[in-house]
Structure 1
Amino acid sequence: MTSAPETAADREHDRRVADRSAYEAVVERLSKASVDRHWEPYVDIPWDDEDFLVVQDDPRWELPEVDRLGGHPWYRAQPPEVRARMGLWRVATAMKIGLQFENLLKRGLLNYAYRLPNGSPEFRYVYHETIEEGHHGMMFQEFVNRTGLPIRGMPRHLSLIAQITPWIPLISTELFFVFVLGGEDPIDHIQRRTLRNGAVRHPLEESIMRIHVAEEARHISFARHYLRRRVPRMPRHRRFVLGLVSPVVLGIMVRIMLSPPGAMIKAFGIPDRVVRDVYTHNPAMVQEIRDSIGKTRELCAELGMANAVQRGVWRAMSIWDAPAGTARS
């Protein structure tokens, strides 16, 4: 007796099963990596070692000349202790904004996990990530506390608006993980480049940065794999809307992460002309903003979320750049 010939529906079913199996294998691998390689901020960082102490006028906090602000004549003309304090302020602000973002992220992840069914491999991974983000928050806040500086983090109006973020998974998990990449990719881009260039001079900052980069690699990987699996299965109209909203979310997030801290500008009396030279009217800064979300932009294009209409929104947010290997349009 011969078996019935395989139909197109059979082949599609087999493909979906294989795709699901491959996706679950990735999630399980990430969960295992969280067990095999993780850090405890109050065990693995020697906070009280003499070389790790945070002192405001420590010259190791000075911004290097290759830094846009660090190389500006106005900054170079400041007394050494002011240059050091300014560099420390900027590092501490980045950490404060990072822990605020990760606070929103943790609450959103838990809302996502709350509705997962029994047996879901995502549940275990999401709890691993939540624990790691909790450690990052403690690590960042400990650093901020030790600076003795009045660091606020996000501007108050943005902080209030951001409180809607943890509820996004109840509306669209796909949009939530776009938000995740919007916060994680820019910082990962900057930190990897900074470590690669040897621009970090204080061992405490370097230790925190290396831990963060290592664990965030898993978080970014999960978000990308999740979107690659989910977005192609979305109804066309929902995918179109996601492609319109994503560049708005990414454009806002990257500027929150990379913009100069207003409180620092005010505290040190940085002149408007310097802010323009270094940040707001600097073509290199504009390109850095684009580059820092380059991988997420390429992912959106790969997933069919960068058609002519959607690219218009990317351009309006000043974050469009043609993916590698394609013509600029």
Structure 2
Amino acid sequence: MTLTAEQFRTTLDRDTEAEMSRLLASSRTISYDPQTEVDWDAPLDPALHGLNPQWSTLYGTPLWERMSHEQRVTLTRHEVGSIMSTGIWFEMMLQQLILRDQYRARYADSEFQFALTEIADECRHSLMFARACTLMDVPHYSPPRYVVELARGLKTVATGEIAYGCILVAEEILDVMQRDWMRGEDVLPVVRTTSKIHVVEEARHMKFARHEIREHLRESGRFRRQVAAEVIAGSARFIVSSMVNPGVYEAAGLDREEALAQARANTHHHNLMRMSCVHLMDFLSDAGLLTRPAMRHYRAVHML
């Protein structure tokens, strides 16, 4: 029986070769080729947004109320482009983390084969997001230099539950956002389709990450869990704070400082972020990775 993306997201992990085989079999039957699934030649409707307006960092603020429809469309297209660019940046790290973890794995095992399948998926996703940004005429948005350099160190040394914890955090947050975007009637078709592809295929990736975290923590002590919780939470803080580049506001013809101030104080967006992290926080708590120090990081970016 073929499981849906939602069933993959909610079913319990089991430490069996059969579980990994099932994930691998699903990747063979429910996968997409963005080059053919997305209508790249369709003209962009000038009235459609890049993401659901409710997901804009300025939605509900006084500044949003003053903006023209054209400005709102431009802003949301640049916001989704910035999020996609951040996704590409993180997927580059993700691939290196998985490769290092599987370096000495048994090649005949389904776990190894699914790990490489996930890497192949991420390559396609990165190319898909890059092409979507080009189509929307969105420039390359990059996280701040200090975040890029900190991440360079993390991807070089992180292993086990820390590596898969960072992977899970980034995937879970984007998953909830894209579930809304793919159903948004006022969202560009290219964003709706790329979101659907990502949601379906990332459902397997999140299941795999949760499985690997549990496996690596199976015999871990309290100190190891505390360290892992702190590093994962700190990474989440940097990822979330880097998702929307401040340059998106200038692209929409807004005053950068005014827009940043209102975005930072936007309780509507803060509530959406907390909502998107409910399943993630439940899992981290069950795994012993939601410590008091870690909670401070999550609260700082409104994930908790």
Instruction: Tell me whether the two structures share a fold, i.e. TM-score over 0.5.
Output: yes
Counterpart among 26, 29, 32 of residue 33 in structure 1: 26
Distance in 2 between the 1:264 and 1:322 partners?
Answer: 22
Distance in 1 between the 2:179 and 2:137 partners?
Answer: 27
Q: 1:112 to 1:65 in 2, by over 3 A?
A: closer
Contact 2:277 2:303 in 1 (8 A): no
Counterpart among 194, 208, 211 of residue 222 in structure 1: 208
Alignment of 1:117-196 (within 5 A): 117-169=106-158, 172-196=159-183
Q: Deviations over 1:3-57 (max 9, x none)?
A: xxxxxxxxxxxxxxxxx97432221111111111111111221211xxx3347xx
Match in the other structure for 2:48: 60
Distance in 2 between the 1:185 and 1:319 partners?
Answer: 18
Q: 1:193 to 1:319 in 2, by over 3 A?
A: farther
Q: 1:62 to 1:204 in 2, by over 3 A?
A: closer
Q: 1:21 to 1:211 in 2, by over 3 A?
A: closer
| TM score, norm. by length of structure 1 | 0.78
Match in the other structure for 1:244: 230
Alignment of 1:191-202 (within 5 A): 191-196=178-183, 198=184, 200-202=186-188
| TM score, norm. by length of structure 2 | 0.84
Shift of 1:235: 3.4
Shift of 1:109: 1.4
Shift of 1:200: 4.6
Distance in 2 between the 1:256 and 1:84 partners?
Answer: 21
Shift of 1:71: 4.3
Contact 2:160 2:212 in 1 (8 A): no
Deviates more, 1:288-297 or 1:89-98: 288-297
- Structure 2 counterpart of 1:112, which letter? D
Alignment of 1:234-273 (within 5 A): 234-257=220-243, 260-267=244-251, 268-270=253-255, 272-273=257-258
State the secondary structure of the residue aligned to 2:27: helix
Distance in 1 between the 2:286 and 2:300 partners?
Answer: 16
Q: Deviations over 1:67-122 (max 9, x none)?
A: 55244443343444333222221121111111111111112211222121343322
Q: 1:167 to 1:81 in 2, by over 3 A?
A: same
User: What is the number of equivalent residue pairs in this alignment?
Assistant: 291
Q: 1:189 to 1:291 in 2, by over 3 A?
A: same
Distance in 2 between the 1:216 and 1:225 partners?
Answer: 14
Distance in 1 between the 2:52 and 2:223 partners?
Answer: 48
Match in the other structure for 1:45: 38
Deviates more, 1:155-164 or 1:136-145: 155-164
Counterpart among 275, 280, 284 of residue 300 in structure 1: 284
- Structure 2 counterpart of 1:247, which letter? A
Contact 2:60 2:268 in 1 (8 A): no
Contact 1:189 1:292 in 2 (8 A): yes
Distance in 2 between the 1:224 and 1:108 partners?
Answer: 15
Contact 2:249 2:259 in 1 (8 A): no
Deviates more, 1:246-255 or 1:22-31: 246-255
Q: Once the two structures are aligned, what percentage of the paired residues are identical?
A: 24
Shift of 1:205: 1.1
RMSD: 2.9
* Unmatched tracts of structure 2, length 5 or more: 1-12
Q: 1:303 to 1:201 in 2, by over 3 A?
A: closer
Contact 1:95 1:140 in 2 (8 A): yes
- Structure 2 counterpart of 1:146, which letter? L
Matched, 1:106 2:95: yes
Match in the other structure for 2:264: 280
Q: 1:79 to 1:293 in 2, by over 3 A?
A: closer
State the secondary structure of the residue aligned to 2:138: coil
Shift of 1:157: 2.7
Distance in 1 between the 2:53 and 2:118 partners?
Answer: 36
Q: Deviations over 1:233-284 (max 9, x none)?
A: 2234322322333322223323333xx321112333335344333x212333
Shift of 1:316: 5.0
Q: 1:103 to 1:53 in 2, by over 3 A?
A: farther
